[in-house]
Amino acid sequence: MPRGEGRLRVAVAGAAGRMGKETCRTILASPDFELVLAVDRSGGGPLGDILGVDSHGLMLEGKLGEGLDRVGADVLVEFTSASAAPVHAEMALKRGIAPVIGATGLDKDTLRSLAALSKEHGTPGMYVPNFAIGAVLMMKFSEMAARWLPDAEIVEMHHDRKEDAPSGTSMRTAEMIASARKQPPTPKPRAAIKVEGVRGGAHHEVPIHSVRLPGLLAHQQVMFGGQGEVLTIRHDSLDRGSFMEGVKLCVSKVWDLDGFVIGMDRLLFE
């Protein structure tokens, strides 16, 4: 349950980054939330100058722990990196602040230890590799299709500054396809491969092809082949606003959750 009446108090880590700035603007514009802390390692200076909107005199700060101790918060939204996010989430959980982690690339062991910490401190948390509601639906529809069409390949396309590959979304999609299949995919011949890697990298027997190009943001196409038919399920995030409905949903609902939850499925489908 939310911890008090009134607006949820939100801190943002990675606030000077692309996702962090969009999140700060979204929190500032929402009547349900109050932005109480904005942290980035590039910290310093009025937040309003960085965001280009009125930020009620908030300053961008450099140290998350100090900021959280000073102002407190109900929720921490985390958009830094795979290495900094677990450290920040740990800081939040130990202070009874619910982390909503958007930074991608966290491995299973890290998620397991965050789940244990969440339980120990009786504080919920979320790891959400994709906040776009359309992307979550794309994954769900792919899971449905895999029951009947076991031969699938994923093409995920992102901007050229994305650090991890393949994307967390594509790996999760492959896992969902693998567990929904009623029969294994048709074996494919290997003999004629002339360039190593040209068939993508297989995750749970689903080839994933990662494209990195300037001009792209976040896109994924899941293709299913059957006898004389191809089904293509595609999602495009065209700007960072596409992630913000999901961010708002998770911030407002994280305190309703029991423990540490991965993805938005529970909020969208249960």
Polymer length of the chain:
270
Subset of 64-93 contacting ligand NAD (CB under 6 A):
79-81, 84
Region binding ligand NAD by CB under 6 A among candidate stretches 8-16, 176-184, 190-198, 205-213: 8-16
Region binding ligand NAD by CB under 6 A among candidate stretches 17-25, 91-99, 180-188, 255-263: 17-25
At residue 192, what is the residue type? A
At residue 144, what is the residue type? M
What is the per-residue binding string for ligand NAD in 18-47, x denoting contact by CB under 6 A? Answer: xxx------------------xxxx-----
The 10 Å Cβ neighbour count of residue 181 is 20
Catalytic center residues: 158, 162
Subset of 107-166 contacting ligand NAD (CB under 6 A):
128-131
Q: How far is the CB of 20 from ligand NAD (least distance, A)?
A: 6
User: Which of residues 86 and 185 has its CB atom nearest to ligand NAD in the complex?
Assistant: 86
Residues 216/181, Cβ–Cβ less than 8 Å:
no
Report the DSSP beta bridge partners of residue 211: 157
Subset of 212-251 contacting ligand NAD (CB under 6 A):
243
Q: Does 263 bind ligand NAD (CB under 6 A)?
A: no
Reduce the secondary structure of 127-169 to three states and give it as a string: ECCCCCHHHHHHHHHHHHHHCCCCEEEEEEEECCCCCCCCCHH
Q: How far is the CB of 262 from ligand NAD (least distance, A)?
A: 12
Total number of residues binding ligand NAD (CB under 6 A)?
Answer: 23
Region binding ligand NAD by CB under 6 A among candidate stretches 12-20, 28-36, 188-196, 251-259: 12-20
Q: Taking CB positions, which residue lies at the least distance from ligand NAD?
A: 17
Q: How far is the CB of 220 from ligand NAD (least distance, A)?
A: 12
User: Which of residues 129 and 185 has its CB atom nearest to ligand NAD in the complex?
Assistant: 129
Q: What angle do CA 94, 110, 112 make, to 5 degrees?
A: 80
Of 86, 99, 102, 124, the one binding ligand NAD (CB under 6 A) is 102
User: Which of residues 239 and 258 has its CB atom nearest to ligand NAD in the complex?
Assistant: 239
| Distance, CA of 208 to CA of 200 (rounded, Å) | 5
Q: How far is the CB of 217 from ligand NAD (least distance, A)?
A: 8
Interface positions with ligand NAD (CB under 6 A)? 13-14, 16-20, 39-42, 79-81, 84, 102-104, 128-131, 243
